[in-house]
Copies of this chain bind each other. A is one copy, B any other.
Amino acid sequence: RGTTPLFPNLNGQKPEYLMVQLKAFRDGKRTDPTMAPMAIALSEQDIADQATFYGVLKYKDPSTGGSVSRSRLS
């Protein structure tokens, strides 16, 4: 997740923001060829769960990667 330059880093993002954006993707108010198919079938609970999940994950600096393999080295 968040591994390509065009995908935003979501770890540590605000849950309320993530919920609004996920609902916007699901409901067609925000369009994106990657996100729309993933969001279309989400329930309210799914969205709340996802938003909470990313919100509690620790931010990783995209410029330094923060990938699993890199983390394991430190």
Chain A interface residues toward B at CB < 8 A: 2, 5-9, 12-17, 20, 29-31, 55, 59, 61-63
Whether B16 pairs with A6 at a CB distance below 8 angstroms is: yes
A8 proximity list for chain B (CB < 8 A) = 13-14, 17
| Closest CB in chain B relative to A22 CB, distance in Å | 13
Taking the full assembly, how many copies of this chain does it contain? 2
The dominant DSSP class at the A interface is loop
Nearest B residue to A56 via CB reads B63
A15 proximity list for chain B (CB < 8 A) = 5
Known contacts A6-B17, A7-B14, A8-B13; 5 further A-B pairs (Cβ under 8 A)? A5-B16, A7-B17, A9-B13, A9-B14, A12-B62
